[in-house]
Amino acid sequence: MRQLRKVWVRAVALALLAVVAVGVAQLVAPLIPQSWTGSIGVESIDQVLNILASSMLAVTTFSLGIAISAFSAAASTATPRASALLQQDPTTQNVLATFLGAFLFSLVGIIALQAGYFSSTGRVVLFAATAGVIALVVLALLRWISHLMTFGRMENTLDRVEAAAASSLETRLANPFLCARPLVSGIPTSCVPLCASGAGYVLHVDVGALDRVAGDLNAKVWLDALPGSFVHEAQPCLYIEREIGDKDALEKLREAFTIGTERSFDQDPRFGLIVLSEIASRSLSPAVNDPGTAISVLGRLVRILARWRDDPSSEIAYLNVFVPPVSSADLIVDAFRPIARDGASCIEVQLRLQKALHALASIRPNVFADPASKMATDADSWARESMSASDYAVLKSAPKAGANSEEREVG
């Protein structure tokens, strides 16, 4: 699935479609009446294809340069981790694929015409196909122009990261234990650790494969490395009920973990929060000095975390695997600690931070009251050391998460 999001997949698909269209044109030619060849200016098809080939090559190169500039802008103004979402943008990929497909279509058409491949009726079919390709190119250009109005801008980048983080969290909340049994009481001390096959971030865990292998071994396994965890050869990724001597089975257990060099948004709800927090931290640096972006990020973080549901129950399909839940304390730390630290001297950011933590503690008191209260205390401590006395006096009057028991009963 990750490969399908790459631009070359769409480009190759449309390019092959263009080549097939040129090849099919001559096969369809016998169905075209001979009288149509005189009423349609098919002799001009050579010039049309030449114009299309030369213009599409230039447009493709120019559009690719614009896309790369947008990726670089997102990496420099927001965070390099956000540029991956722009690279997966379907509109950009479809437009580039359309331009490249049109170029290859015209190129193949020119070669076929020069080789004498088409009959007079075949030229009619090619002319109709060319008209269809031109219509697709015009639509792609109009869509591309509209898309460039926002593509790569800070607000657009924030929207993409928020959507990715919210989607990942919603997916995990709908299946908090990945269809396995919940691990709520800790891993038994008698279990045997199984370390990862290499160093990197866990991108995906095939819980079904773990369950099948564990069932064959008549053993239980406890997952210790959720997607987003960094593992290595000395880091256990799971624990097994007892010592297993079957090396093939142990290797199959390791193969259930997809390990990569960079974290992914897909199964890792914490990563989206980290990326948003990175954007806020960069905006608070002395070189940028943009507290407005940090305040915008705080609002987005509240919207994402407010999706949390108190009932973590889910269907259990894999009885041999135990999976730990996502920690609400980890989510609060990932989302707010960098902002609290880097914005300690900014009264506007600190006020909004305290309000954000207070909102989460009120919306989901059973989940966020304690971690939000601790984070509010840490933020207040950093602010007291960095702020002026007058600003800190204003901050002290702001509502604090978990300041009293009544606040925890709200919502």
Rounded Cα gap, residues 356 and 283, in angstroms: 18
The pLDDT, as a whole number, for residue 101 is 84
Alpha carbon distance 332, 321 (integer Å)? 27
Check if the beta carbon of residue 381 is closer than 8 Å to that of residue 321. Answer: no
- Say whether 261 sits in a helix, a strand or coil: coil
For the record, the structure tokens of 23 come out as: 């090849």
DSSP for residue 327: P
Task: Report DSSP letters for 56-113, one per residue.
Answer: HHHHHHHHHHHHHHHHHHHHHHT-GGGHHHHHT-HHHHHHHHHHHHHHHHHHHHHHHH
**pLDDT one digit per residue (tens) for the chain, 411 residues:** 555 556 677 677 767 776 777 777 767 767 666 665 555 555 678 888 899 889 998 998 999 899 999 999 888 889 999 988 998 898 998 898 888 888 888 888 888 888 877 777 777 778 888 888 899 899 999 999 999 999 989 999 999 999 999 999 999 888 889 899 998 888 998 999 999 989 999 999 999 999 999 999 999 999 999 999 999 999 999 999 999 888 999 999 999 999 999 998 988 999 999 999 999 999 999 999 999 999 999 999 999 999 987 665 678 899 999 999 888 999 999 999 999 999 999 999 999 999 999 999 999 999 999 999 999 999 999 999 999 999 999 998 877 776 553 443 333
Task: Report yes or no: 328 and 308 within 8 Å, Cβ to Cβ.
Answer: yes
For residue 342, the one-letter residue type is D
